[in-house]
Every structure is written in C-alpha cells, then in structure tokens.
Structure 1
Amino acid sequence: MRRWLGRARDWLTGLLPSLRLRLVVVFAMVALSAAVAASGIAYWLTRDAVVNRAQNAALKDFHKTLGDHAGTLPPRPKCEQLKEAADAIAGSTQNYEVVLVDLERDGRQCAVASSENFELGDVPKKLRNAVVEERPSDGGTDAAHHQYWQRVNLDGTPYLISGATVIGEGPAGYMRKSLDQEQDDLTSLAWSLAIATGLALIGSVLLAQAAASTVLRPVQRLGDAARRLGEGKLETRLKVSGSDELAELSRTFNATAAALEERVADLSAREQSSRRFVADMSHELRTPLTAISAVSEVLEDEEDNLDPMIAPAVQLVVSETRRLNDLVENLMEVTRFDAGTARLVLDTVDVADQVTACIDVRAWLDAVELDADRGLMIRLDPRRLDVILANLIGNALKHGGSPVRVSVHMCSAPRTGLPAVDEARAGNLVGAEGEVLVIEVSDRGPGIPEDVLPHVFDRFYKASASRPRSEGSGLGLSIALENAHIHGGEITARNNPEGGAVFTLRLPPDASVLVAPEEREEEDVQ
C-alpha cells in the first residue's frame, strides 16, 4: 500500500510539477468528491421520497375506488356495466387509466378500458398471473387475492402499473399511472444539484487558489531569500509575522543567515589577514634574499677556488637560495591573484616566436619539439604567456622526460574549453571566425596517476606524500592556471592513451575585452 501511494505521489508530481497547481487540483478533487457524494445522497433520498409518495397515493386511491365502484357490480356483469365502472374509477384525482376484466353470463371474457391508450395487453403477464392467482387461506384474515404493482418504462416514460381482484369473485382491475411529472421534478432536481456541484467546484478552486497563495507566498519569499543568500548577499533577512509554522521557518532562516554572515565575515577576515601576512612576509623576505642571492652568486663564482669539502655546501646554499627566491616570487604572484590586483599588459605577438623565445632562454631547444606555424598573431600579455609555457614545459621535462612536444594551432570550435564568462563578453572570447588558440604540451613519461589528475592544479599539492620536499614549490601549475584565467582561457590535463601526459592551453585570440577601458587608454598612450 505504501509503495502504491509512493508511486501515485511520484506520478502526480511528474504530471503536475507546480506545487500551486497540485494544491488547486487536490482541493478541487476533494470538493468535487464531497459535492458529488452529497448530491448523490440527496438525489437518492429525494427520488425515493417523491416516487414512493406518488406511488403510495395512487395505489391507495386505486384500491379504494376499485372497491367502491367495482365492488357494487352484480356477478357476471355486462361489458357496458364494466365500462361505466372503469370510467368512474379513472375519474379519480390521481389521473390514472383503468382496465377491468370479468366474465360475462355467457362465459366470455370482457375487458374494458377507460382510454384507448391502455389495454390489457399493456399489463405485464407476470403481474396479471399474480393478480388472478388465489392464495390458500391459513385461517386468518388474509384474503385470497392481493394488490400487486410494478414500475415499467414505456417509450422513455415511467409508469406505475397495479392490479387487484375485487373480493367475492368480482372483476380484476388494472391501473396505469404516468410518473412523468415526478420524473421531470427529479430531472430538475438533478440539474440543480449538478449546478450546485459546479458552483462548489468553482468555489473550491478559488478557495484553493487563495489558500495556495497564502501558503506559497511565504514559501516563495523564502526561496527568493535563499537564492539571494546563495548569491552572496548575506545581509538578506525575512520579515516575520505571526506564530505559525511558516513564521517559525522564517525565524530559523534569519537565525541561520545571521550565523552564516558572522561565520563568513570571520573567515573573510582570517583569509584577508592570511593574505596580508603572506604578502607582507614575501615583501620582507625580498630584502634579505637579495643580499643572500648576491653572496651566493659570489660564492658560486669562487666555487673552483674553494676547498673540495666546502664546495657541496656552497652548491646547496646556492640552489636553496634560488629555490627560496622562486618561492617568494611565486607567493607574491599568488597574493596578487587573490587580491585581484593582477593586471594584463597586452601586446600583439607571434605565438611561434613567443614559444621559441621561452624555450631558447631556458636552453631547452634540444629537449623540445616545436610544431607551430609562423604568423599566428595573438593579442595577450607576453610575460604571463611565458610564465604559463615555462611551467608547462618545465613540468613536462622534469616529470615526463624529453623529448617534449609543443603543438600550436588555432581551433575552430567556438568557446571550446573556455570557462564561463559574462554574456556581454562571451562573444569576444573567440575570433571573428570562432577560433581559439590551442597550445598542447605532451611528454612521453609514465603519465599522471588517475587519483592525482584532479589535483594537479591545486596549490602546494604533492603527488607523493612520502616526498613532501621537492625542487618545485607546488605553485607553478596553479599560477599557470591563474594566468590562463586572467586571459579568459583555460588549462586542462589528461593522459595520452599512447603514454605520457598532455596539458592543453586554450586562449582567446584577443584578450583586450578583459581589460578595463581606462587601462586600454593607458596602453594606447604608452
């Protein structure tokens, strides 16, 4: 039963997805069922009362007039006498038709009717047999003959037919009374009940609409407030009135929103404090690092003149100083992204030349295979593109080994791989012909483990927990991704089915749309 109710509820929910519509339909169904049940009971009770009253009055009057008129006839009356009696009986106020049947003196049966529309043949045979049948007396007051009746329908008109035999071997009389008037009254009653049911249905729909509005209006306000809260408007509150369940729900929402606002404010303050600490720490470290770097460079230049026992220590100091310097620079870059102060300095460059320069300045020409057509002119920030390429190619060389293949081409798929942006800017993130710059960096190493793949762009993420200390800072790929995002692009990582990892950079051919108008004016002046 529970399963059936669950299926019915699911079916109703699928058929009527709106809660307001479901409330109106349920109200209407309940009201319709109640109205139909009440109308049906009222019609049935009224029908029995009307028909029974008319039937009992006609039977009682026929029984009396039959005894008064046919009971005075002589034995074996003539047909003329039966006709007079039939006319007299039919003259009753009940307005019914009569047929009298008896035997004449010569033994022939005489059947006379008060009207031409009613004959003996119109009386059901079963009723005639019951009327003339004699019942044995049990010594009491029961007569040998009884009065019988039957309701029939002839040509769409209801009739009451009754028959009885006069006591003392008198004639048998049959009466037919039309119940058409009662049927008309019942039809009028049925129409009245149907109209009342329709009005009740309309009233229930209006009442359901009002009730639904009363119930759903606070729910709608709650939904709007929850939506604003989800959009970050933590100051959203609901106006509370009353003491019902919806008012209690509004109070709970307000308390939750207040607690959430307080919690978010606390977390924001802590996050801002942490960012300020990292930024301040990075700036404070730059001064001593500059001095340490200068000393380490002097030591590196004098490495050949140092004691062989001291040379490894000097090399360690030099390498760790450089690593610390890179870490500080990366931290400062991260704080710029987090603070939203990172800006693009745009220039129109040949992508092939830019990639070649990045590889050449780091002495990677022998370890990298470049597949790029000359003449792909793109407007972007050359320094940030260099940072992206250096991180992707350097990461491929360090973890995948050479040769690393770099492929540069324009993809005709519009907006492929690009992150969601404002609709006002979306049309400008692709070229005039719907083109996107695609740079793929692939290696022939073992690839990236599937459990590591979703986290390769996370900050300070280490693929191996057993080796938390490595040459990298764990920020390179995350900084590369941030630089792609600031251009309106994206970086994705996957494993090549043939072996090795593939990093794909997608950039719009013109990042000018992402630069504020005042910054563009400054670039034009420069």
Structure 2
Amino acid sequence: MSRLRFTSLRLRLVVVFALVALTAAVSASGIAYWLNREAVLTRTQDAVLRDFQQEMQNRAGALPVHPTQDQLQHTAGQMAGSSQRFSVLLVGQDTSGRTVYGNSGGLSGFALEDVPGSLRAAVNKRQPLSAANKSPYHLYWQRVTEHGTPYLVAGTRLVGGGPTGYMLKSLEPEAKDLNSLAWSLGIATGLALIGAALLAQAAATTVLKPVHRLGVAARRLGEGRLDTRLRVSGTDELADLSRTFNNAAEALEKRVADMAARDDASRRFVADMSHELRTPLTAITAVTEVLEEELDSESGGIDPMIEPAVRLVVSETRRLNDLVENLMEVTRFDAGTARLVLDDVDLADQITACIDARAWLDAVELDAERGLHARLDPRRLDVILANLIGNALKHGGSPVRVSVREADDEIVIEVRDHGPGIPEDVLPHVFDRFYKASASRPRSEGSGLGLSIALNNAHIHGGGITAANSPGGGAVFTLRLPRDASALTEQDEGGGRHTDGDGTGGTGEGDDTKGGAR
C-alpha cells in the first residue's frame, strides 16, 4: 500500500469532505444552540417578569403611599415567595420623607447597589403620556453576569405613588442546561466529522480505485505492453473513461503493429536491395578496376577526352560500393544480428594500424601509452576509429589529435580536430542517419551513415560516443568502451543477439552530417 501523501487526491477528497461536514455541523449546531438559548431565556424571562409584575400590582400596590421599613421588608418577603423564586428589593419614602428599603434576604440580601445605574435611571424616568403610551412608568429588565453567574434584573415603579420594586433572578439553572446542550451539540459535531471522514474515505476509495487501475494500465501501456485493457463495468463517467482508454489502446496497438510491419518491410527491402546490388556491383567494380589500371598505365590506353568520365565512374562506383556495405551493416544492427568477436587489443597499436592503413600518419597526432590493453572486437573498433578520424579530417581541420586514457573500468578515446566546430542546433543530430545540416550544401562524398555506424558499434560493446565543441575551438568526439566486453558475448550466447559478423562497417571516409554542419 502506497504511503498517503499530502498531495494525494485521496487526502484532498477526505479533507474536503471533512471540511464540508464540519462547516455544516458547526453551522447547524450553532443555529440550534442559538435558537434553544433564546427560547429558554425568553421563556424564563417572560415567566419571571410576568410574575414580578403581578406581585408588584397585588402586594406592593396594597402598601400605603408612605410605607414603613417593616412594611416594605414584610411585603418583599411575601413577593419573593412566589413560584419563580426571585429576590425582591422595595424602595419607598416614609411619612418623614426618609428613603426606606425592604428586601427579601435581610441585610445580606439584594441591595440597590446590585441594580445597574442605567436600569435605575430608566425605571425612575417619567415617560410623557400619549395615545400610544398610557402609563408614565414601565417595567424594564436587563441581563447581567457577576462572578460567572448570569442574572436577570428588572424594576418598575407603581403608578399613582408607592414603592419602587426591583427583582433579581439567577439564570444559573438555564445556563447549565445550555452548557449541557452545547456539549451535546459539540459531541454530535465531532461524531458527524468522524462519520464524514469515514464516508469520504469510502467514497475516495470507490472513486480512486478505477483511477488507480487506469494509472497502472497507462504505465503498462507506456512500457510497451500494448495489449493492456481495462475491465469496464457500469455506465458512469469512469466507465466511459475506461472505454475510451481501451479504444485508444486498441487503436495504438493496431497502429504500432502496422508501423512495425512497414518498418520490417522497409528493413527487408533495404537488406534485399543491398544483397541484390552486391552482384552487379562486383562486376562493375571489376570493370572499374580495369579502367583504373588503364588510367594509371604508362601506355595511356584511355582517350584523354573520356578520361574525366572514366575517373568519375571509378569514384562513384567506389562510393556506391561503400554505401551498399554501410547499408548492409546498418541492417544487421536493425535486425539484431550483429555480434562481437573479441580479442585482446593493444589500443596504441590498433589506432596506429587504423591510421597507417588509410595513409593518415602525417595528419593525425596520437597520444596513447603503449601496453594499454582491452578486450574488444578489433574489426568494429577499427570501424569506429576510421569513421571518427576520417570525419574529423574531412570536415574539421588538421592536425587531428587522438588521445587515449583509462578511467575506472573504461577506455576513453578522444578525437579532436581544429575546425570551426559544430553548430549547436546540429549537435543533437550528428549521429542521425542521412542527416543533412543544410539542404543547400553541395553533395558530400560520404554516405551519411559513418557516425551512425560508429555509434552502433560502440553500443554493441556496451559503450557510447558523444559529440561536443572544444572551448579552444574545433569539435571533439569522445568514445567510451568497457575494458572487457566479455559479459556481452556471454549474454549473446545465452540467447541475446544472433550472430553474423561478416559486415565490413564504415570505410572511414567521413560522415555527411558533420560535413553539412561546417
């Protein structure tokens, strides 16, 4: 099971589901709490205020206009004994004009200082009478909190004279009920969040399983397994996507099969054409050799008028013969029939022999230590060196310097020239077959396959060739080969490449690609 990452679609789906559920649960809980709070407080408040107003009218209204303190104290005690159980404070003036107080709790009970000043001012303020206002005094109330306990404070004044009454009611029972409700809603919100997360996980699994299968199928398709198909079930969008994938994979498989068939046919055509051309070319080559001998003979057997034409025929016949040989070598690589014939090679001697066989000793500088050996295919190494050095001589600038060094278990051979270098836009294509850097350049004498054949011969050794421009000017080709390619021949014997080592490879005349780049 793959580790859950913060960037995964599964986690994002779960988080989105959880956030939606949390928002909905918190909103619903908040609305429910607010509605219940208002309902509870309003119901309690209305009942207390209605009872207090009735007590003021019935009991405080029965007092004289100028009551004594004992009368106020007795009446306050009676009023507090109502069903709502609130504290009462009565304020009046006796016959001498002195303010007297009476409360339901004695000296330590409800006092005038416990009443907010704004509430006292509103209670004692006389309102102007009008059609809408029939009474100069009204009942006012206010909610306060002291020491963490909520209270309801109310006050009113008797019309026509008499004491002013204040009431104090603790709302602690209602606050406890509301706290219990808040805890219940909080627990419900948490459970809803957990449930939403579980549902989101299940939904994400249901949605992402087809997506995961589609990803696995796409990777297998990218790996070349074109017969990959998805099992389609249902009629939803994911099922449509699976059908589309299957249709695309089927079309791709058919197209690749058609292209492979055409490619095989093209390769067979090139191979057959090359083999068929060898027979007439052998005869033509024999004739051109006779003509060339006549050209070089002292007797002057060739008419001077046709001598240029004869030399052109000889040159083009050689070029055609080289092209056919190179095409046959390329077809061996494409068919996978090329193999290595390994031998212990002294690299300095091998490079010297390659240069000497092509009369390049005066144009090539060799920097290689004697006694540096490697187990390689000498014929294919000669093909690589002939193409790289010949290409440098033809399209670069002499002298061409060939250096050999050892790096770990590799042999590194650098071929450096003193030409203008290779344009940056041409560098990625120097090993392409028949690549022409400029369509307007004159026709090159090379086949355009030399560097491609050299690269294939390096690959069959388990090495490679890179091309770059030297900072000091000129191009440099770097050949890397393993010191011992025996492991590759063991793979061939175990069922790897087929064997066919009779190809001659490149002739070292240089590659067309680089010539077009200069």
The TM-score, its normalising length taken from structure 1, stands at 0.88
Give unmatched runs, 5+ long, in structure 1.
Answer: 1-14, 413-430, 522-526
d(CA) in 1 for partners of 2:209 and 2:442? Answer: 56
d(CA) in 1 for partners of 2:406 and 2:375? Answer: 14
Aligned to 1:452: 426
| Cα deviations by residue, 1:497-521 (Å, 9 ceiling, x for unpaired) | 3322211112222222323346389
C-alpha change, 1:520 and 1:253, in structure 2 (3 Å) is closer
| Cα deviations by residue, 1:61-103 (Å, 9 ceiling, x for unpaired) | 0111122211112232221121111111111111111111111
Aligned to 2:145: 153
Aligned to 1:67: 57
Q: 1:78 aligns with which of 50, 54, 68?
A: 68
Code of the aligned partner of 1:313: A
Q: How many residues align?
A: 485
Q: Does 1:511 align with 2:485?
A: yes
Aligned to 2:111: 119
Code of the aligned partner of 2:79: I
Instruction: Give 3-state SS (helix, strand or coil) of 2:229's partner.
Output: coil
| Cα deviations by residue, 1:86-133 (Å, 9 ceiling, x for unpaired) | 111111111111111111223221112211242111111221222222
Aligned to 1:423: none
d(CA) in 2 for partners of 1:220 and 1:102? Answer: 85
Aligned to 2:400: 404
Q: 2:17 aligns with which of 27, 31, 41?
A: 27
Aligned to 2:475: 501
d(CA) in 2 for partners of 1:511 and 1:372? Answer: 21
Aligned to 2:158: 166
Give the alignment of 1:116-515 within 5 angstroms.
Answer: 116-138=108-130, 142-303=134-295, 304=297, 305=299, 306-309=301-304, 310-411=306-407, 431=409, 436-467=410-441, 469-515=443-489
Code of the aligned partner of 2:483: P
Q: How many Å apart are 1:33 and its aligned residue?
A: 1.3
| Cα deviations by residue, 1:280-329 (Å, 9 ceiling, x for unpaired) | 11122222222322332233233324223344333333322222221111
d(CA) in 1 for partners of 2:478 and 2:132? Answer: 114
Aligned to 1:90: 80
Code of the aligned partner of 1:387: V
Code of the aligned partner of 1:246: L
The 8 Å contact of residues 71 and 167 in structure 1, kept in 2 or not, is answered as: no
d(CA) in 2 for partners of 1:55 and 1:97? Answer: 14
The 8 Å contact of residues 442 and 503 in structure 1, kept in 2 or not, is answered as: yes
| Cα deviations by residue, 1:387-433 (Å, 9 ceiling, x for unpaired) | 00000001111112421111111235xxxxxxxxxxxxxxxxxx2xx
d(CA) in 2 for partners of 1:268 and 1:296? Answer: 40
| Cα deviations by residue, 1:237-289 (Å, 9 ceiling, x for unpaired) | 11111111111111111111111111111110010011111111112222222
Higher relative contact order (CA 8 A, sep 6+): 2
| Higher mean C-alpha deviation, range 237-246 or range 316-325 | 316-325
d(CA) in 1 for partners of 2:52 and 2:449? Answer: 112
Code of the aligned partner of 1:379: R
Q: How many Å apart are 1:467 and its aligned residue?
A: 4.2
Code of the aligned partner of 1:53: R
The 8 Å contact of residues 47 and 186 in structure 1, kept in 2 or not, is answered as: yes
Q: How many Å apart are 1:139 and its aligned residue?
A: 6.9
The 8 Å contact of residues 149 and 163 in structure 1, kept in 2 or not, is answered as: yes
Instruction: Give 3-state SS (helix, strand or coil) of 2:150's partner.
Output: strand
The 8 Å contact of residues 462 and 468 in structure 1, kept in 2 or not, is answered as: no
Q: How many Å apart are 1:140 and its aligned residue?
A: 7.5
Aligned to 1:101: 91
Instruction: Give 3-state SS (helix, strand or coil) of 1:458's partner.
Output: coil
The TM-score, its normalising length taken from structure 2, stands at 0.89
d(CA) in 1 for partners of 2:199 and 2:158? Answer: 63
C-alpha change, 1:520 and 1:76, in structure 2 (3 Å) is closer
d(CA) in 2 for partners of 1:107 and 1:266? Answer: 119
CA RMSD of aligned residues (A): 1.9
The 8 Å contact of residues 376 and 461 in structure 2, kept in 1 or not, is answered as: yes
d(CA) in 2 for partners of 1:404 and 1:520? Answer: 41
The 8 Å contact of residues 494 and 503 in structure 1, kept in 2 or not, is answered as: yes
Consecutive aligned runs of 4 or more in structure 1 exceeding 6 Å deviation: none
Code of the aligned partner of 1:474: G
| Higher mean C-alpha deviation, range 464-473 or range 237-246 | 464-473
